[in-house]
Amino acid sequence: KLYKTHNDNMVNGIKDLCKMADLIVPNYTEACFLTGNDYRYDEDDELRTEEMAKSLLDLGCKNALLTGVHILENKLLSVLSSKQEAIRYYEDSLHFNFFGAGDMLASTVLGYILKGMQIKSAIRPALSFMQQVVRGSIVNNGLKFLDLKFEDKLKYLADESKLSG
């Protein structure tokens, strides 16, 4: 089922925009809408995730980063796919959902690209930045959907060597 704010016309419009994109950054749900795949969340299905990332290229974009797919019990998988390769990125799953996290990740990747990085090189530091943001945003109140607290982490974007800690 589509998000409450989305409809088929919007999905078709997004597909048209993908034809012009160097990079798209959908999450798993959005990738299902765009590719027509059923929403089937198998926590150990890394190959299916990679195949879905590759199928996003059929929309006409040059690169697709499928993000935040829960695998195993404590891991998130993101896959960057291009015509040349598919690269898997693993992060710790912190078992919280944050509105806007995907948008912030896409913006961070874009920031690194604008600083001169290649797309492939921009993914790891952007994911590391998001791990820092999410870890700093978790509050112990039992909620599963929380606001991102990122302001104190912005300084890390200037020095990506600090992101690994």
The amino acid present at 145, given as its one-letter code, is: F
More confident residue, 153 or 50: 50
> Given a cut of 90, is residue 18 above it in pLDDT?
yes
* Arithmetic mean of pLDDT, 4-22: 89
The total number of residues written for the chain in this structure: 165
Q: Considering only CA atoms, which of 113, 96, 57 is closest in space to residue 80?
A: 57
- What pLDDT score was predicted for residue 165? 41
- What pLDDT score was predicted for residue 5? 76
Mean pLDDT over each residue of the chain, to the nearest integer? 85
pLDDT band at residue 144 using 50, 70 and 90 as cut-offs: low
- What pLDDT score was predicted for residue 44? 55
> Given a cut of 80, is residue 52 above it in pLDDT?
yes
> Given a cut of 50, is residue 140 above it in pLDDT?
no
Taking each helix axis as running N to C, give the angle between helix 101-114 and helix 119-137, from 0 to 180 degrees, rounded to the nearest 10. 140
- What pLDDT score was predicted for residue 147? 77
CA atoms in the 13 A half-sphere facing the CB of 123: 22
- What pLDDT score was predicted for residue 163? 46
Q: What is the pLDDT of residues 108-136, one digit of tens each?
A: 999 999 989 999 999 999 999 998 888 88
Residue whose pair of structure tokens reads 């896409």 in the numeric block:
106
